[in-house]
Structure 1
């Protein structure tokens, strides 16, 4: 028997009979079971045939059943479609029915809505007719004002519903009836106000309580009649009160609110004492007492009528007209008789005006809407008298300040005129500001505060701003007048060639240099203060006058003054340097056989710069000092170059001497600074070394005077080495330093050396010499290409 079941082989898709036989019977000995194997295969074939036959027979019966099931399914589907069509038809019929029902409901809704509107309109029309009828019945009875007010208010509310139906005759007739009733009611109310309150002649009579109640109810009627009737009542009331006011103080002028008030000449003459300007404050006292006296009557009016405020406005208007007339009469009397009506000085008049304005301002703050109602009358007088007085005082202060500066020779006090400001990175620079500038701006600020707070923020302040500009422009002109000038009288000029005209010279003494520095500092101070003053004026003045208080011209004047000061300093320094240049052109350069350290003209240039540097360094700020150096170099270097081209017959010795002069050493302190900075640079390079190269680089790069065991120990600590590395490096350093001749020991014993000359000079000398250093550096940089061309 084979070792495997052949069934698995027969089921394979890649069955190979030959291969199967070879596997089952590999040799002749295995053929002994061949008959049995054949018998098994035949039985297997018979079994498979039987299974195939059964499968075919069963499949034939299933096909018939499937056909029968499919027929049944088709019948059920057709029945289902029939039912769906029935449902769809019924739903369409239901939708039509619903639409018909909804259409009927919508018609009913519209009918109901229109019916409700009609009922409401009829009810309102009936109520309106009833209200108008009741109003017609009660309008003639003046003791039923409250009832009339209610009827009018109800009628107005109902008439709002019929505004779109005014074209209907019935509604139009009711509206005409209501207008006629309101006209009758308006006449009755106004007549009652005039009767119950009374005219000016009945002012002192006390009103009975029943009349007060009647007035209160009449106010209710006026409220419902509208704003126009209320304005008529207020016009009559203000006219009555102002008539009493004018009869008390005389001088009826102008148009009042709603009526024209007059006063007889006899009354004006009787009250002439009250028309004086110094008696003007009595009017405000009278008005305050009047408000207190009539407080009970004014309290009857509704609060939203603002009766006291309206009376205040009318009072302000009449008082303003009186005030203008009084001031115009005073002007006429001054022009005709040469003196004031009250014979007071301008200063006293200004003081009283300021006092009166302050009081009016306080009352205006309480009145709210009465701002500037009366004080506007003073604007013309204030511009004429107040500003004139301020001008006299400010110009007097300016003249006095200029005289004081002349007495002090235009030099500030040591303590008061000093302003400290940064100068570079070290120390400070003392900037001098003249005391006259501070005094003038102090007075201007005080005048501005006084005018804006107590006098006016309108045309008077604008006129005062113009005065400030004139005063500051005059002060700038005085400072400009003090500046040293050229022969032509200017502060700037183009220098002539070396040896040419001297019209551009500006000869400055030491005192002149200090004065010019002070003028420069003062000009910058005034420029900054003027900018701040312009901002303060713009904030203080009324917004529509803000464009009339600009101080740009004054700022430009002080900027021009600062520029002129800088130009004068530049011309002054170049005037001094012109002598050494002239000496340079007169030297015999062809006779020089042996070169020296420097020529006489170089020493002269250095002397000039060293002489003026301390004064300019102390008197100028850092920015101005740097700008001055640039401008001096820009003016001097071209002239030096021109002077070199004017030289004749320069021999080899002279050319070498000129090269030495142009490449001269810088001052001693520069060498010291460079040497000390070289030590620092070498130390940084040593710190960048690796530990194994640290000793060699230290001995190679560090100067001998800076080498010591202690310094090397500090360097090792700075590199954050561990103790073993530090111990090894210190031993190596001592060994190599000993081999180099004890250089480390000598350095440790000697310590560091100090420059002999620099230890005797303070930081002040360094700061003052910076000007010389900067100038010489610029000269060397610009002249080196010229020397190469020669």
Structure 2
């Protein structure tokens, strides 16, 4: 019946398609047998047309054709590179990639036009080769794991990643589907990244252990080189420069990081980060802290008499020119390491898997370099401070009650200025690349020297009116020098940082006020006491006692003065607020020192 014929038509079409598909597969099997020797025959118009027909048949026909052709095309590879063959080992891995490159060229020449372009046969052959190779390499490396040395492993990795790069340039990766590739490192520009090289990841511990050993040897070489070559030479371009060894260290780190991330961005990167941390600390300890000059508690064995006879150009600082340059070099190097370690942390976080980012933390290592910087600045401050100590001692030992006329600045002032002019330009020039730390040095020196100067000022007793005038002149001279300290001896005059100027003005103005109070007549007593409270805003009895000692008043006179002083103090309001306001009006030396320390910390944070 016509109806039944029409009803059976789709079935007949399907049967015809199935038969046609089987015929096409048979034709391909005959042309490219999966067993036996490959026939010398090549593509034909019949097979090309058959592929076009297969395109519209059941997709499984197309998949079978592709699968059988690729399997037949790679059959020779499996024979040539069997596990028991000499060429199968890692040292001859290049031969694997050379073989497939020849096969791809051979395919293009012989069969390029036989298969439809949209089948991407060349890429499919390459991808299947990668899958087979990854499996075969993993198998042979498991068997011969003890024979894998780091040089051999790195050689195989390098050649493999180069090959994966070649694939990325040649193919789009459009045949790679979900599940085709193992989980691979982030490499957005290369869809083939890890398609073979993933097999090396289980053996990366060999690489990590090797880097641990290499970095240990590198640090030892840095130590030996420093001992052999000595510190950077002063008066050369090397002075204050970053030690070249730290650049070498970070260049090596970068090489390791790139090398490791090309293969894995998982746990091996975390293991490598731990190794990096270990040797950053070792570098800080052995190369930087370990080479800072050692200080002694003495001030160089200088006597007051020799100090007062100093002439321009004499050297009394504990540290030599070479040592000052070395400290500055170590400081500059620590700053470079601090900044570069921060960048290293960021790069590691970029390269590691997202799930592992929180395990990358180099804060401890950055803190270590910050400590080296602080230690270096403190050494520079202590050195200049100690060089000025004998001059301050000389000041306090002078017979100020016997001074008959006011002249030029006293010898002790000349001595302090000499030391400042000797040290500061050297430090400034050698810290030219890191101005903020030079500013920190200036601030720390001012915070150390000025309170010490005031302490010695109180020891100058008794003082005559003329003696106080001379001291006031000396104090003003020191104040001007300190204000100019950041640019002293420089052809380029820069305005001193406001944070530094504020400290000098506040501290030295207090010294000037002390002397102005000393110069004021102590009669009438009420006027003297009120003048003291007004000028010094200091309600501390001990400070007032020191002023009276400087004036040379007798104990009986001092007792009356102290009693009057207590009576004339501003009466604070009752309650805790009162004590607070009194504290603000009358800072003790301890409070003053505490405020300076707080200010110093604040400045340091802002810098």
Does residue 620 in structure 1 map to residue 495 in structure 2? no
CA separation in 1, counterparts of 2:222 and 2:235? 17
Residue aligned with 1:317, SS: helix
1:481 aligns with 2:302: no
Shift of 1:662: 2.5
Q: Is this contact kept in 2: 1:637–1:782, CA < 8 A?
A: no
Aligned counterpart, 2:514: 786
Give the match for residue 449 of structure 2.
636
In structure 2, C-alpha distance between the alignment counterparts of 1:413 and 1:583, rounded to whole Å: 32
The answer to whether the 8 A contact 2:54-2:61 is kept is: no
**What aligned pairs does 1:748-759 form with structure 2 within 5 A after superposition?**
none
- Partner SS for 1:624: helix
> Does residue 223 of structure 2 align to residue 378 of structure 1?
no
Which residue of 246, 251, 259 maps to 2:78?
Answer: 246
In 2, Cα distance between the equivalents of 1:358 and 1:187?
41
Change in Cα spacing, 1:782 to 1:408, as seen in structure 2 (3 Å) is farther
Q: Is the 8 A contact 1:461 1:541 kept in 2?
A: yes
User: Counterpart in 2 of 1:366?
Assistant: 170
Question: 1:350–1:385: 8 Å Cα contact kept in structure 2?
Answer: no
Q: Superposed, which structure 2 residues align to 1:171-320 within 5 Å?
A: 197-201=32-36, 203-204=38-39, 206=41, 209=44, 212=47, 215-216=50-51, 219-222=54-57, 225-226=58-59, 230-231=62-63, 234-235=66-67, 238=70, 245-251=77-83, 269=84, 272-294=85-107, 296=110, 299-320=113-134
Structure 1 residues 665 and 346 mapped into 2: Cα distance closer, same or farther (>3 Å)? closer
| Partners of 2:134 and 2:195 within 8 A in 1 | yes
Whole-angstrom distance in 2 between the partners of 1:217 and 1:445: 52
* In structure 2, C-alpha distance between the alignment counterparts of 1:275 and 1:596, rounded to whole Å: 97
Structure 1 residues 598-617: aligned runs within 5 Å: 598-599=409-410, 601-617=412-428
Q: 1:405 aligns with which of 226, 231, 234?
A: 226
Question: Which residue in the other structure is 1:515 paired with?
Answer: 326
Larger radius of gyration: 1
TM-score (norm: length of structure 2) = 0.62
Matches of 1:763 and 1:606 in 2, distance apart?
A: 11
- The match for 1:45 is none
Partners of 1:462 and 1:548 within 8 A in 2: yes
Report the secondary structure of 2:144's partner residue: helix
Aligned to 1:631, the other structure's residue is in SS state helix
SS for the counterpart of 1:200 is coil
SS in 2 for 1:304: helix
- Taking structure 1 as the reference length, what is the TM-score of the superposition? 0.50
State the partner residue of 1:396.
217
CA offset digits 1:252-280 (Å, max 9, x no partner): xxxxxxxxxxxxxxxxx5xx223222233
Measured at CA, do residues 389 and 208 of structure 1 come closer, stay the same or move farther in structure 2, by a change above 3 Å?
Answer: closer
CA pair 243-446 structure 1, distance change in 2 beyond 3 A: closer
- Give the distance between the partners of 2:66 and 2:437, measured in 1 at CA: 70
Shift of 1:373: 0.7
* SS in structure 2 at match of 1:786: helix
Seen in structure 2, the aligned counterparts of structure 1 residues 288 and 665 have a Cα distance that, compared at 3 Å, is closer
Report if the CA contact (8 A) 2:406-2:467 is conserved. Answer: no
Are 2:234 and 2:322, in contact at CA under 8 Å, matched by a contact in 1?
no
CA contact (8 A) 1:398 1:475 kept: yes
Structure 1 residue 249 displacement after superposition: 2.6
Q: Deviations over 1:551-582 (max 9, x none)?
A: 55544433332222112212222223333334
Taking the TM superposition and a 5 Å limit, the aligned residue runs for 1:656-675 are 656-664=469-477
Aligned to 1:594: 404
Quote the offset at 1:606 in angstroms: 3.0
Answer yes or no: is the 8 Å Cα contact 1:411–1:514 preserved in 2.
yes
The alpha-carbon deviation at position 320 of structure 1 amounts to 0.6
Secondary structure of the residue aligned to 2:474 is helix
Change (3 A) 1:231 1:487: farther
Q: What's the C-alpha RMSD, in Å, of the aligned pairs?
A: 4.6
1:323 corresponds to 2:134 = no
**CA distance change for structure 1 residues 380 and 608 in 2, over 3 Å: closer, same or farther?**
same
| Cα distance, 1:325–1:416 mapped onto 2, change above 3 Å | farther
SS at match of 1:319: helix
Counterpart-to-counterpart distance in 2, 1:541 and 1:216: 45
**How far apart, in 1, do the equivalents of 2:358 and 2:244 lie?**
31
Alignment check: 8 A CA contact 1:196 1:215 kept: no
| 2-structure distance, mates of 1:215, 1:652 | 120
CA distances 1:339-378 after superposition (whole Å, capped 9, x unpaired) = x6xxxx7546644643454244323432442332111222
CA distance in 2, matches of 1:323, 1:413: 57
2:375 pairs with 534, 545, 564, which one?
564
Contact 1:200 1:243 in 2 (8 A): no
Cα separation, partners in 2 of 1:766 and 1:195, compared to 1, 3 Å: closer
CA contact (8 A) 1:277 1:326 kept: no
CA deviations on 1:10-34 (whole Å, 9 max, x unpaired) are xxxxxxxxxxxxxxxxxxxxxxxxx
For residue 193 of structure 2, give the secondary structure of its aligned residue in structure 1: coil
Select the residue among 571, 576, 581 that pairs with 2:392.
Answer: 581
State the distance in 1 between where 2:144 and 2:155 align. Answer: 17
Gaps of at least 5 residues in structure 2 are 174-191, 298-316, 518-531, 533-546, 548-607
Deviations 1:222-279 (A, max 9, x none): 3xx34x665555455555555554344335xxxxxxxxxxxxxxxxx5xx22322223
Aligned counterparts of 1:413 and 1:330: Cα–Cα separation in 2: 56
Q: Does the C-alpha gap of structure 1 residues 612 and 768 become closer, same or farther in structure 2, counting only changes over 3 Å?
A: farther
For this pair of structures, how many residues does the alignment match? 468
Shift in Å, 1:414: 5.6
Q: Could you say which structure has the greater relative contact order, defined with CA pairs below 8 angstroms and 6 or more residues apart?
A: 2
Where does 1:21-32 land on structure 2 (aligned, <5 Å)? none
Structure 1 unmatched ranges of 5 or more: 1-125, 142-147, 149-181, 252-268, 335-339, 419-430, 489-505, 672-761
Determine which of 329, 332, 336 is the counterpart of 1:525.
Answer: 336
- Tell me which of 429, 435, 438 is aligned to 2:244: 435
Is residue 335–residue 369 contact of structure 2 (8 Å, CA) maintained in 1?
yes
Q: What displacement does 1:319 show?
A: 0.6
Deviation digits for residues 660-705 of structure 1 (CA, Å, limit 9, x no counterpart) = 433347789x99xxxxxxxxxxxxxxxxxxxxxxxxxxxxxxxxxx
Whole-Å separation in 1 of the counterparts to 2:392 and 2:167? 76
